[in-house]
Structure 1
Amino acid sequence: MSKENEYREIFLAEAVESHEELNRLITELEKKPDDNKPVDAIFRITHTLKGNASGMGFKTIADFAHVVEDIFSAIREKKLALDEQIFSSLFKSIDVLGDLIHSVKTGAKVQYRGIKTKLEVILKSLKEGEQSAPEDNEEANSNTDPSTKDHSITTVSNQNRIAPSDHAANTVQKESMSEPEPEENAKIIFSDHVQVPVRKLDNLLNLVGELVIERDRIIGLNAENMGGNEYSRLNRISSDLQYSVMDVRLVQVSFLFNKFHRIVRDTANQENKSVSLTLKGTETEIDRNILQIISDSLIHLIRNAIGHGIESIVDRKNAGKPAEGHLTLKAISESDAVIIDVSDDGRGVDAQKIREKAIQKGILTEAEAKNFSDDDIVLMIFEPGFSTADNISEISGRGVGMDVVKKALDSIGGTISINTHKGVGTTFSLRIPASMAVKGTLLFELKNITYAIPLSYTEAVLSIHKKDIYKVSNGLVTSHLGKTIPLVFLKDIFELSYANLVNESKILHKTYDRTSAEKALNIVIVSYNSRVMGIAVDKLLQQKEIVEKPLSKPFDNSKMINGVTILGNGHVCPVLNVATLFNLIFIRNYTNKKN
């Protein structure tokens, strides 16, 4: 990569971070218009952004940031009063500034002249007012901070372009020319932090994964010809390297959480509701790629909580609640996972309304619906297209529901659960892996092939006999911890296509019917989205941390296999897709009930 492109990536990383901070600060300022701290912070950020953009030759961004900087200079000097119309223009200008930054990467055309002209008219009217009152103007000039003067470079040739950090240093040098000369023994101080593009970390992690797989293969092939500690140093160093690279990829969830202040503000205004947001556990760390994958899911949950959960101001007052609704976004670390809770103090999920929708859609009969607990009924909101919205709006009712959230979590081996109380509120809990690089698994054998099942889904392993299993309709059940749970022989699932499993009856009885009463059966108890199931396999092996690789074409459409890894013996080990297994079994149940 050329130096110019590298500087461009650094600029974009800094600019995107600056824009996110501007969104947070402007939302904070709207709540406390008399607070000078957000105003000063926004002024400093736009001033720096203007200089960095100018140094890179992005004149449109520099000019636009300059106008926004001047607006906030006027605000902090008390020349411009903040009101609803001004805030509307400020929010719009920050949105446009974000679009301009994004266009550096995408090349998209951004309509910015309208809001820029509007801000310039405001500044011009302020200037004309100063000219009509020279005494006031003189006093204002005497109080102006010299650091607010514009030292940005307006034109920079390709040969003389400098990195944003170099430009910042150059600007500081210009601004301090009138100060005393530094001592001769002054030292240049370097930052302890460097910015690295994510693609470089992804490539490094991929190489480390390949190294770990090759290490296990070599150790496995030479196990019989070496002592127990022959490769212990190689094993330790490669493992330390792997976890060090994983640690570099971790970011605090505040990186994502801080974006939601603006989202909550905009969604609440759109719904004509009053909603506040509290963030907890923002220092919790998680893999950046995972955070990116779940970002849309969290946006959907938050918008859903405001649109569906939190009542209108009138309804809240009638229910004896504060007029302002409250959202809480909380993250906590738990072993090798992160739990993210999205909580609201709204009306709660109406289980009876979901029952009625399930009957209306033909998923359940009236008799079956009565036998389902409220907890089981509520889980139906994750079914594709299942919505209880009566009216179509920008927030809900467009046929895109919670199934989108569930699919995103399935793709990374995460789960979601619901805790809701009518009239009190709802909490959606997302359990997601802290990292996708290394996955703890349980190895098992089926028809002489070794498979892996993620430990995040594994509850227990059992050894039972045929007499402990019972036929029920077209399936099988057994008992675990005093509860009746469904059970499947994985061999039956793998021998049939998805369509056959849904339509053909008695399929799940085949291996059971051929099994002798005396044979001990190996069962893995797995859980997914508050449901529990037993899986019968041929042989249980061991727990092992693996580096999972995605399936390549044409095998990437396999429903039951999520990915593969390479074992120490060099054999390919498929990783079972537990989410698909659960969905397949329950879709079959629903289909049979409808038929």
Structure 2
Amino acid sequence: MELSQYLDIFLEESKEHLETINNQLVELERNPENIEIVNEIFRSAHTLKGMSATMGYEDLASLTHQMENVLDMIRNHKLAVTSTLLDVVFQSVEYLEAMVFSIADGGDGKKNVTDVVELLIKIEKGENVENSTKVTQASGTNDYTYDSYEVTILEQSEEQGYSPIEITVTLRKDCLLKAARVFMVFEVVEQIGEVIKSTPPVQQLEEENFEESFTITMVTKEEQDEIKERIMKVSEVEMVEIKTIHTKNLQVSQTSKVDQAEQVVEIEQAAIQAAPAIEPITKAEPVANTKGVQTTKTIRVSIDRLDGLMNLFEELVIDRGRLEQISKELNESELIETVERMSRISNDLQNIILNMRMVPIETVFNRFPRMVRQLARELGKKVEIEIIGAETELDRTVMDEIGDPLVHLLRNAIDHGIEMPDARRALGKNEEGKITLKAFHSGNHVFIEIVDNGGGISKQKVLNKAISRGIVSPQMADSLTDQEVFQLILSSGFSTAEVISDISGRGVGLDVVKNTIESLGGSITIDSIEGKGTTFSIQLPLTLSIISVLLTEIEKEKYAIPLSSIIETAIIKKEEVLTAHGQEVIDFRGKIVPIVHLEKVFHVNKEESKESNLYSIVLVKKGEKMAALVVDSFIGQQEVVLKALGQYLNSTFAISGATILGDGQVALIVDCNALIK
């Protein structure tokens, strides 16, 4: 029997079962007496075992079989659920995920699973495996792979002129205070760059749980010889090796690897109607068949086909705009009526296609409980995660990009936000910290909030750090609002961490979070109460392909400003323009707003004879900040298709893309975020 034709289905269903197992294991740790949860895990494991055996993936099947034996003993009350047992099962699932990813990448799915199988057998026999699990976990961390977020940081740092390097430091064998020497080495490297990661992790280095060597991954602008010379000055350092990291060849760790296999979207096959509405399967309603049995019919469609359909529809939107323009010029009633009808139908079609691309955000959220559990255990903290609004839907394109920023914000909340259990008890708090991950729709946007009940952000500490780094002046610091102060932690290279941590980066992370979100047309705001907790709020557009804009004109050039960034438009007299610190500003309802002349930004040559006594301005926002963009005139609101400028023009300042208008002209889409300082 030819099994290759079933490979896509096998991969898709395997990932679904592994996701179920992961989520239910986290739930089982909270409710160890709930046998129904164990039954749910057992069913998924049993199905995965059968599928793997049928497809010929023996390592996958044998590991699942052994895991199934342990689960069977738990549900028959022969084994009690303990943290050590769950550690081994979680490790088994990591191995299973690695094998499935290997198959998805064209591999054979083989893996040496002897160590974890032996642990499962010991558990089945009732033997103690606590020491064994610690050894396995320690050895598992000592690799030189990077998760996808660390790769992003290294790549973006390299683009900004930094050199990504790995520094391997070897201490003398007779070194007595290894942790102290490690601290001194980190003191040196912190002065010359930013630490991204250490191998082994910092916690193991502090506990002296390593041999003589350790590796620091960092970005810097210093010469390698200079770095080596400075580190060698630390006593009891025997050798320093420095290797340049080639970001294009970086190996991404399997457990954090983004699913690169063919993605599919399940679409409800609705009854044939005049205007059928197609929704994702998560919203599918049961359809009554002729026998009166309630069933839901679904089909799997490759995301590539949906992308192709979206591209064709984008061309249709451009032609629709052209037809509307022609019908206005000819003023033929029948033509106008036909075009209006076509516009209504195409609007319905647009809604259907966009809905087909919408994916519940739970596909991203579901991996976080396990990650939070693992990080909390590594840091010796107790953290509960609550997920609200996982059914909220977001365009698949946006979904692909938002995962890594959320991972970093959660790591930051666990590492820097939530206090240690004894510190929380001393403050009269519950020793278990809580992180709430919430998603909801509002208008044409999706909001994602990460809320923690930890120590909050110290406004004074942030200001002191910002002043010492030269990000703000002491005079400017006095006039900043709380919101503006908190936004400073998103500045490039900013960090208030007093100790090095490989959990949440060294200050080159939060600015990447901000840049990623703004590149999606979104924004991030921070609210915090010291001693109470912090809230990161992310605003994202529902979709990136078709956006609503205000068309404006400068001389004979047309510029589109996204409506999501606009507060309002106005016409003001030149006499109303003031000057402050050499910058033109206006008083907008009691708030001083800087003026930005788009003709100067985009070097548009204007005829002096057209100079007017009035300014047409567009008030735009970026978080709490605003700017007034000066244009010649307003054309009107329009839905346009966002087209990328291509690799040669993608770095053009303050331009996020272009669109083709109904009359065939090209309008550039203004990136308001780049214009607001």
Bucket of the pairwise TM-score, normalised by the shorter protein: 0.7 to 0.9
Give the corresponding residue for 1:556.
Answer: 650
1:239 to 337, 344, 347: 347
Report the AA paired with residue 358 of structure 2: L
Structure 2 CA distance, aligned partners of 1:64 and 1:207? 46
Equivalent residues in 2 for 1:123-202, closer than 5 Å: 123=124, 191-202=296-307
Report the AA paired with residue 520 of structure 1: L
Indicate how the Cα distance of structure 1 residues 7 and 571 shifts in structure 2: closer, same or farther if over 3 A, else same.
farther
Give the corresponding residue for 2:321.
Answer: 216
Indicate how the Cα distance of structure 1 residues 355 and 514 shifts in structure 2: closer, same or farther if over 3 A, else same.
farther
* Alignment pair present for 1:274 and 2:382: yes
Aligned Cα root-mean-square deviation (Å)? 2.5
Equivalent residues in 2 for 1:45-124, closer than 5 Å: 45-107=44-106, 110-123=111-124
Give the corresponding residue for 1:261.
Answer: 369
Is the 1:251–1:287 Cα contact (8 Å) retained in structure 2?
A: yes
Report the AA paired with residue 100 of structure 2: I
How many Å apart are 1:465 and its aligned residue? 1.0
2:406 to 279, 298, 301: 298
Report the AA paired with residue 649 of structure 2: F
Is the 1:564–1:575 Cα contact (8 Å) retained in structure 2?
A: yes
Give the corresponding residue for 1:205.
Answer: 310
Q: What SS is found at the alignment partner of 1:60?
A: helix
Report the AA paired with residue 581 of structure 1: L
Cα deviations by residue, 1:122-179 (Å, 9 ceiling, x for unpaired): 44679xxxxxxxxxxxxxxxxxxxxxxxxxxxxxxxxxxxxxxxxxxxxxxxxxxxxx
Indicate how the Cα distance of structure 1 residues 5 and 520 shifts in structure 2: closer, same or farther if over 3 A, else same.
farther
Give the corresponding residue for 2:428.
Answer: 320
How many Å apart are 1:186 and its aligned residue? 9.6
Q: What SS is found at the alignment partner of 1:555?
A: coil
Is the 1:485–1:532 Cα contact (8 Å) retained in structure 2?
A: yes
Cα deviations by residue, 1:426-478 (Å, 9 ceiling, x for unpaired): 11111101122321111111121111111111111011011111122232111
How many Å apart are 1:107 and its aligned residue? 4.5
Cα deviations by residue, 1:315-354 (Å, 9 ceiling, x for unpaired): 1111111111111111111111011111111111111111
How many Å apart are 1:11 and its aligned residue? 2.1
In terms of mean alpha carbon deviation, does 77-86 or 262-271 score higher? Answer: 77-86
Q: What SS is found at the alignment partner of 1:230?
A: helix
How many Å apart are 1:219 and its aligned residue? 3.5
Give the corresponding residue for 1:480.
Answer: 588
Give the corresponding residue for 1:405.
Answer: 513
Indicate how the Cα distance of structure 1 residues 515 and 464 shifts in structure 2: closer, same or farther if over 3 A, else same.
farther
Structure 1 CA distance, aligned partners of 2:60 and 2:351? 39
Report the AA paired with residue 452 of structure 1: A
Structure 1 CA distance, aligned partners of 2:6 and 2:631? 54
How many Å apart are 1:217 and its aligned residue? 2.4
How many Å apart are 1:376 and its aligned residue? 1.5
1:535 to 629, 633, 642: 629
Give the corresponding residue for 1:23.
Answer: 22
| Structure richer in strand, relative to its length | 2
Indicate how the Cα distance of structure 1 residues 203 and 64 shifts in structure 2: closer, same or farther if over 3 A, else same.
farther
Indicate how the Cα distance of structure 1 residues 256 and 219 shifts in structure 2: closer, same or farther if over 3 A, else same.
same
TM-score w.r.t. structure 1 length?
A: 0.81
Is the 2:408–2:504 Cα contact (8 Å) retained in structure 1?
A: no
In terms of mean alpha carbon deviation, does 198-207 or 337-346 score higher? Answer: 198-207
Structure 2 CA distance, aligned partners of 1:410 and 1:356? 27
Give the corresponding residue for 2:419.
Answer: 311
Structure 2 CA distance, aligned partners of 1:527 and 1:5? 52
How many Å apart are 1:214 and its aligned residue? 2.3
Structure 2 CA distance, aligned partners of 1:5 and 1:292? 27
In terms of mean alpha carbon deviation, does 254-263 or 20-29 score higher? Answer: 254-263
Structure 2 CA distance, aligned partners of 1:485 and 1:402? 26
Report the AA paired with residue 440 of structure 2: I
Q: How many residues align?
A: 509
Indicate how the Cα distance of structure 1 residues 95 and 559 shifts in structure 2: closer, same or farther if over 3 A, else same.
same
How many Å apart are 1:118 and its aligned residue? 2.5
How many Å apart are 1:5 and its aligned residue? 5.9
* Alignment pair present for 1:356 and 2:464: yes
| Structure richer in helix, relative to its length | 1
Give the corresponding residue for 1:465.
Answer: 573
Give the corresponding residue for 2:475.
Answer: 367
Equivalent residues in 2 for 1:423-438, closer than 5 Å: 423-438=531-546
Larger Rg belongs to: 1
Report the AA paired with residue 466 of structure 1: K
Q: Which has the higher contact order (CA 8 A, sep 6+)?
A: 1
Equivalent residues in 2 for 1:496-511, closer than 5 Å: none
Structure 1 CA distance, aligned partners of 2:313 and 2:658? 16
1:391 to 478, 496, 499: 499
How many Å apart are 1:230 and its aligned residue? 2.5
Give the corresponding residue for 2:356.
Answer: 248
Is the 1:212–1:239 Cα contact (8 Å) retained in structure 2?
A: no
Is the 1:466–1:515 Cα contact (8 Å) retained in structure 2?
A: no
Report the AA paired with residue 9 of structure 1: D
Indicate how the Cα distance of structure 1 residues 71 and 244 shifts in structure 2: closer, same or farther if over 3 A, else same.
same
Report the AA paired with residue 113 of structure 1: T
How many Å apart are 1:388 and its aligned residue? 0.8
In terms of mean alpha carbon deviation, does 281-290 or 448-457 score higher? Answer: 281-290
How many Å apart are 1:191 and its aligned residue? 4.8
How many Å apart are 1:25 and its aligned residue? 0.7
Report the AA paired with residue 259 of structure 1: R
Structure 2 CA distance, aligned partners of 1:52 and 1:198? 24
Indicate how the Cα distance of structure 1 residues 60 and 488 shifts in structure 2: closer, same or farther if over 3 A, else same.
same
Give the corresponding residue for 1:168.
Answer: none
Q: What SS is found at the alignment partner of 2:398?
A: helix
Is the 1:209–1:242 Cα contact (8 Å) retained in structure 2?
A: no
**5+ long unaligned stretches in structure 1:** 127-184, 497-509, 587-595
**5+ long unaligned stretches in structure 2:** 128-289
Report the AA paired with residue 193 of structure 1: T
Q: What SS is found at the alignment partner of 1:471?
A: strand
How many Å apart are 1:105 and its aligned residue? 1.6
* Alignment pair present for 1:579 and 2:673: yes
Report the AA paired with residue 43 of structure 2: R
TM-score w.r.t. structure 2 length?
A: 0.71
How many Å apart are 1:570 and its aligned residue? 1.0
Structure 1 CA distance, aligned partners of 2:5 and 2:517? 33
Is the 1:9–1:197 Cα contact (8 Å) retained in structure 2?
A: no
Q: What SS is found at the alignment partner of 1:459?
A: strand
Structure 1 CA distance, aligned partners of 2:630 and 2:473? 31
Report the AA paired with residue 362 of structure 2: S
Q: What SS is found at the alignment partner of 1:556?
A: coil
* Alignment pair present for 1:346 and 2:345: no
Report the AA paired with residue 298 of structure 2: H
In terms of mean alpha carbon deviation, does 107-116 or 417-426 score higher? Answer: 107-116
